[in-house]
Chains A and B, each alone.
Chain A
């Protein structure tokens, strides 16, 4: 048989910063997309071997298995404090935390506010899925009004359970914050925008321009109790109006960065 050689072009490749193993995430979960974006940015910036990740307690507790850079695992909510310890001792390394809404906006609220307030040169990737995924679907600080969870069985009643925490808005008020934005993972266009933001957040850190956070609107089809497709639609219909995508703080120095 005669074969003609066709020029081979690589259009898709696993980033070297991402481990070549299957994850434990539910099918359709956006945690996997977020992981990939971070890994692509690490590859592009060629920072994998000087990056240290801090994993949270939540569904992404095993994030350290999925990246090929160094990693530590924090107590629930304390990742920004642990990251601070690492960054202060090793200021020339790139340090990032990866945290869920329960982890960061509930039990870890104090640590995140103070890390941002100090202008700690860290990058925080914040996965807002409006629920406690790992423990089976309880109310998160980001759960929407009226949203049913296993600990708000009749829907979140803001009278007794309070209002959703808008973390990007909140942190953007702090002078230490260099770059604070919100993106979403529900469609390709938004995923591309999310990646750009993650890149800029890491650049902020590398240039010593202070605290950076990218909030990523995410899905948890399992605990929302709907299909994967429905969960994407639900994010678009309900989360985006409550949590508008946008740049909440871009310090002048960060705005001048050329990527």
Chain B
């Protein structure tokens, strides 16, 4: 059994870091895990995405065509990944930057304005954790507690003061996803 998650957005939205938090948490909880970014020349304003695979046996390909879930933080990412999520999978859509609804009806869609929620929490950059919380509410591959622990143990030292609010962001995202009519 393995679970594949793609997190995609503009550079600077924290897609890669959200994936790493997931990967750390998976590792600490005793799972096999891979994290792989799309990489390109060091240029501003590009897209950034990563694929995280969590499994209980040796992971073959670190990349998949059809992930179990995707978090899309902008419109180009929605256009790209919406058709690829496997039937029955989960798609978290950042409605702060996406102005259309999803077309798939055979997957679970979570529409969540992560930018606004992050701003309410006082820091725009928390949007990735809000989105991650929303995903985990619908795809319990890891518990929120496990991911929190991943944050505690692996948030870079210079960001440690943001720990509590990061945790809060995860929970706020999860709550929103559970309340939202999807």
Contacts and interface: CB of A to CB of B under 8 A. Distances in A.
B44 interface: yes
A146 interface: no
Nearest to A27: B44
B181 interface: no
Interface residues of A, number: 11
Interface string A57-80: 001000000000000000000000
Per DSSP, chain A at the interface is loop
Contacts of A133: 42
B41 A222 contact: no
Interface in A125-155: 133-137
A134 B42 CA distance: 6
B176 to A, nearest CB: 34
A258 B41 CA distance: 43
B180 interface: no
A249 B41 CA distance: 36
A134 B41 contact: yes
A24 B42 CA distance: 11
A26 interface: yes
B1 interface: no
Nearest to B44: A26
B12 to A, nearest CB: 12
9 contacts: A26-B44, A26-B45, A27-B44, A27-B45, A59-B41, A134-B41, A134-B42, A135-B41, A222-B43
